[in-house]
């Protein structure tokens, strides 16, 4: 567990500023989150701060190195290339902030505005996947990546998944830690961070899409949450506790299923380097396997093979469960993945290019065209005040 931080000393260090009670409370909350959940190591380590230029990440860049100065910090900014001059202005802002803080700044540019690069994939999911990949590249096998998610993000994500549908794992939402990814601000409210930045006259970059209710997150933030807060002003705290319980139970079930998965099957790479998972039908159909565990086991096995930006919905999962007892059963799931029963084994594998139906190839071309139109629309909107994708932070 991280050694305790002397908050009185922290306030004294910053005595040139007027440190409000909100500031002291914010520093205490971050410290307690990190210490109680063991988010940072005790020994000096490499930490990458993901900084977009928005208020939350700017606050993280200022607060975390001040509170935990023993670590080695790098600021990583991802220029998604989606908003033209606005994206370049974000990059310039983050470079200037890093220089002011005396922290090394690394910038990576993505080609999310290029249809050939995106190839019809979900831009938000692809951007998220590539951001984390770039951050983990900087670290290698040691160190941690810090993101600036807040309790507001957690509550909004929960409500979005309620609207769109999702199981317990999805509803548990954003975790404080996922491997080398750490979220130290997850118990802080967005307004706390803005109050802190205002108190030290620190500007930040604002994304106009945050108030554009055509986007689901903005709709939840602007239309649904205010009404919920009228009924329960402590919503973030009470719902946060409920999400903690969901996350704890989900983590337990996930570990239980992982152990069963290791006992029930094997995984290998095919000639194209794609993962193939093989499961014993006999083990899956054991009378003492609870349906909840069976569904989770099948879902986890499928997600091992599926591309990271694809999702397995309840109808796909039920089709697989129903087909387990049928010899010769086969079905396709998202990501060009085949699930097939061969004798007494359920095989989950990525299809080769030559196996894809003509309709799938046409679908990719159509999605590429749609992505190109969407990107062009985003660039036009940006020129008229829209600043891009509202979920790009998550």
Tell me: the pLDDT tens digits for 165-175? 777 677 777 88
Instruction: Report if residue 187 sits inside a domain.
Output: yes
| CATH code of residue 41 | 3.40.50.620
Looking at the fold, whether 160 and 220 belong to one and the same domain comes out as: yes
Identify the CA nearest to 143 among candidates 50, 28, 41, 11: 41
Domain assignment of residue 169, given as a range: 7-249
Quick check: 167 and 313 in contact, CB under 8 A? no
* Residues 201 and 110 placed together within one structural domain of the fold: yes
User: b/e map of 150-171 (b: 16 or more CB within 10 Å)?
Assistant: bbbbbbbbbbbbeeeebbebbb
Determine, yes or no, domain membership for 118.
yes
What is this structure's pTM?
0.76
Amino acid 211: pLDDT: 77
Here the CATH number for the domain that contains residue 300 is 3.30.465.60
**pLDDT per position as a tens digit, 185-222:** 999 999 999 999 999 999 999 877 777 888 888 999 99
User: 10 Å Cβ neighbour count for 248?
Assistant: 11
**pLDDT given for residue 356 in this prediction:** 54
Cα distance between residue 337 and residue 372, in whole Å: 26
The verdict on 183 and 52 lying in the same domain is yes
Q: pLDDT below 70 — which residues of the chain?
A: 1-23, 113-114, 116-122, 168, 287, 309, 353-394
Q: Do residues 314 and 169 share a domain?
A: no
Structural domain total, the chain = 2
Q: At what angle do helices 151-164 and 235-264 cross, to 10 degrees?
A: 70
pLDDT at 8: 43
Is 204 within the bounds of a domain? yes
State in Å, rounded, how far the first CA of the chain is from the last one: 27
Residues β-bridged to residue 344: none
Q: What is the pLDDT of residue 354?
A: 58
Tell whether 378 is covered by a domain: no
Residues 198 and 342 in one domain: no
């Amino acid at each position: 567990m991280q050694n305790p931080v002397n908050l009185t000393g922290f306030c004294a260090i910053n005595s040139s500023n007027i440190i409000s009670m909100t500031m002291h409370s914010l520093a205490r909350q971050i410290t307690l989150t990190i210490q109680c959940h063991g988010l940072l190591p005790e020994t000096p380590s490499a930490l990458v701060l993901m900084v977009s230029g928005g208020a939350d990440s700017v606050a993280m860049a200022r607060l975390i190195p001040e509170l935990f100065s023993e670590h080695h910090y790098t600021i990583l900014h991802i220029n998604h290339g989606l908003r033209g001059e606005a994206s370049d202005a974000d990059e310039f802002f983050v470079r200037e902030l890093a220089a002011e803080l005396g922290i090394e700044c690394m910038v990576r540019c993505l080609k999310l505005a290029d249809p050939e690069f995106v190839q019809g994939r979900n831009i938000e999911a692809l951007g998220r996947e590539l951001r984390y990949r770039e951050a983990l590249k900087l670290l290698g096998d040691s160190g941690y990546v810090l993101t600036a998610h807040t309790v507001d993000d957690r509550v909004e994500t929960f409500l979005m998944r309620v609207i769109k549908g999702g199981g317990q794992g999805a509803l548990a939402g954003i975790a404080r830690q996922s491997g080398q990814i750490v979220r130290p601000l997850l118990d802080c409210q967005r307004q706390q961070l803005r109050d802190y930045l205002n108190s030290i006259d620190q500007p930040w970059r604002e994304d106009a899409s945050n108030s554009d209710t055509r986007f689901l997150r903005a709709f939840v933030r602007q239309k649904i949450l205010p009404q919920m807060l009228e009924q329960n002003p402590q919503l973030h705290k009470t719902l946060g506790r409920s999400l903690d319980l969901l996350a704890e139970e989900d983590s337990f079930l996930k570990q239980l299923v992982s152990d069963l998965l290791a006992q029930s099957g094997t995984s290998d790479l095919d000639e194209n380097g794609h993962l193939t998972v093989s499961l014993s039908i006999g083990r899956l159909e054991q009378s003492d396997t609870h349906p909840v565990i069976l569904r989770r086991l099948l879902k986890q096995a499928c997600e091992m093979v599926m591309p990271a930006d694809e999702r397995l919905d309840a109808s796909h999962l039920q089709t697989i469960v129903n087909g387990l007892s049928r010899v010769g059963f086969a079905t396709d799931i998202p990501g060009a993945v085949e699930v097939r029963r061969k004798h007494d084994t359920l095989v989950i594998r990525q299809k080769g290019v030559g196996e894809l139906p003509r309709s799938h190839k046409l679908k990719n071309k159509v999605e590429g065209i749609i992505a190109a139109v969407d990107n062009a629309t985003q660039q036009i909107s940006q020129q008229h005040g829209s600043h891009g994708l509202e979920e790009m932070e998550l």
